[in-house]
Amino acid sequence: MDALKYRLLLGLLLLTGGAGFAGTGTDQSVPVEKARAARIKAAFLYHFARFSTWPEEAFADSETPIRLCILGKDPFGSALEQLQGKTVHNRPLEIRHLPAGASARECHVVFMGPMPAQVLATTLAQLQHRPVLTVGEGEDFLKQGGIVRLVEEKNRIQFEINVTAARRAGLQLSARLLRLARIYEEAG
């Protein structure tokens, strides 16, 4: 393993707290199990929140929780239970489940599960200039204005970030997070 890959792997392990990160062993032929992948993705959501900063106006007051919303079909199952009781930036983390097409404007982090393409496009357009960290998995998610895309590749879960979309939303992402991501450049 070359030095760059080793540092990247070490960084990802630190970022996820080593929480069962898939593909870290030498056997690359073992596929990421569905439940294990869900736990890893849930841990990523938590860490994305930890390494993001929202403008003050995103919160009604100092007691307002960080709202992590799952919009549409929930691919996590019981994996989100590991986030119960956690805090982010001295605020409690509140998990909400919303049906596809529901307003996510009161959320701070939104995972957009599988949903019809038109519903996804409409939701992303509604959130485009709001301080909401959008996370999804679809191939065109970043192209449509999403901020973070989770990707399963070579038995690992990796992520890509659309920094232009993050700026548009008024979010600041930590340099540490950006170093670990593949950066997506919007056309134009």
For the segment 64-110, what is each residue's pLDDT rounded down to a tens digit? 999 999 999 999 989 999 998 999 999 999 999 999 989 999 999 99
Task: Give the sign of the dihedral formed by CA 15, CA 70, CA 57, CA 122.
Answer: positive
Reported confidence tier of residue 1, pLDDT bands at 50, 70, 90: very low
Q: Does residue 17 surpass a pLDDT of 50?
A: no
pLDDT per residue over 111-134, tens digit each? 998 889 899 999 999 999 999 999
Instruction: Identify which of 172, 179, 150 has the alpha carbon closest to the alpha carbon of residue 10.
Output: 179
pTM of the prediction?
Answer: 0.83
Residue-level pLDDT at 143: 94
The residue-averaged pLDDT of 12-36 equals 48
Q: Does residue 12 surpass a pLDDT of 80?
A: no
Residue-level pLDDT at 188: 66
Q: Does residue 16 surpass a pLDDT of 80?
A: no
Q: Does residue 14 surpass a pLDDT of 70?
A: no
The residue-averaged pLDDT of 35-51 equals 95
Domain 3-184: assigned CATH number:
3.40.50
CA-to-CA distance for 14 and 2, rounded, in angstroms?
Answer: 18
Q: Does residue 23 surpass a pLDDT of 60?
A: no
- Which ranges of the chain does DSSP label H, i.e. alpha helix? 3-16, 34-50, 117-127, 163-168, 175-180
